[in-house]
Amino acid sequence: MPIPEGLPVVDHHCHLSPSGEGVEAARRFRAAGGTHLFLATQNYTREPVRDLAGYAEQYATTERLARRVTVETGVTVFVVIAPYPVDLIGQADALGLPAAIDLQRAALELAGRWVEEDRAVALGEVGRPHFPVAGELAEAAEDLFRYALEVARDAGCPAVVHSEDLDASGYARLAELAAQVSFPPGKLVKHYARAVLPTAQRVGVVPSFVARREVLRACLAEEGPWFLETDFLDDPARPGAVLDLATVPRRAAAIAEAHPEDVERLWIPFDEAVRSVYGLELAAGGRT
């Protein structure tokens, strides 16, 4: 069975780099049947940027890559930007914690303005380091996470969360943090989700599942919204650190081939979730 006609094939979280494969990776995604990418910004320099101009340049690099991918491959790309939460650590070392906090806040506000100008569709990755950090740094990271949700709330966009792996209590704490700033849980996306928890335990937070075979088999049965992603890093120094960019379309094709009874479930991550979380309409002519 082929992929249903009109079904978009979406990788909800990837990175591309001007010094990596870049457009060539997107070409592989396209050749495998992919149609839409959510492209998250990343550090394109060895050290985290030290000033707001550095973040402006970083976001602009992501935007340029997105345009090139669309022009050269026909894949539609949505830009997702924010200062990477882990940057705070290196910036605190280099600048001192107060200046690092100011920089992160300014970079979040810049990202919010990009969303308002329709240059980006979401703030991401926002959140906290996925490993334990000490006292005042941890506190600052948590304050910045809360501020990121405020900026996303005011810009009316989703927030794509970088964090440690979440169990039921982790999801509950995340929803609680969002509630503190009246951020709607339906726009709160846990990126790189690996544990497939029952819907009720996710308390309205939207998982973006890593498209590993076993995760996909488990999440296909789940109610939406949820997404699929590779978190492709496009880092030649770390090949195989994450899934290849062609993975989502390949998995979709494999499901259509081996489990045709499940293929309709793919409308959840590729169409319904994109509509409910982002308000974006991807399926040409809608679902048939």
In this structure, what DSSP letter does residue 205 have?
Answer: P
The single residue listed with the structure tokens 């600052």 is: 140
* C-alpha dihedral (99, 103, 108, 110), degrees to nearest 10: 140
Nearer to Zn ion, 87 or 231 (CB): 231
Interstrand relation of 188-193 and 206-210 (parallel, antiparallel or unpaired): parallel
Which DSSP string do the residues of 142-182 spell out, in sequence order?
A: HHHHHHHHHHHHHHT--EEEE-S---HHHHHHHHHHHHHTT
Q: In what order do the strands lie in the sheet with 36-40?
A: 10-14, 36-40, 76-81, 122-127, 159-162, 188-193, 206-210, 227-229
Nearer to Zn ion, 7 or 148 (CB): 148
Q: Smallest distance from the beta carbon of 62 to Zn ion, in angstroms? A: 12
Q: Smallest distance from the beta carbon of 180 to Zn ion, in angstroms? A: 25
Count other Cβ atoms within 10 Å, centred on residue 193.
Answer: 25
Count other Cβ atoms within 10 Å, centred on residue 241.
Answer: 10
Q: Smallest distance from the beta carbon of 40 to Zn ion, in angstroms? A: 5
Q: Smallest distance from the beta carbon of 42 to Zn ion, in angstroms? A: 7
CB closest to Zn ion, residue no? 231
Summarize as ranges the residues that interact with Zn ion (CB under 5 A).
231
Nearer to Zn ion, 82 or 115 (CB): 82
Nearer to Zn ion, 14 or 92 (CB): 14
Q: Smallest distance from the beta carbon of 163 to Zn ion, in angstroms? A: 12
Query: Alpha-carbon distance 215 to 226, whole Å?
Result: 12
Nearer to Zn ion, 41 or 73 (CB): 41
Query: Alpha-carbon distance 106 to 55, whole Å?
Result: 9
Nearer to Zn ion, 35 or 43 (CB): 43
Q: Smallest distance from the beta carbon of 107 to Zn ion, in angstroms? A: 16
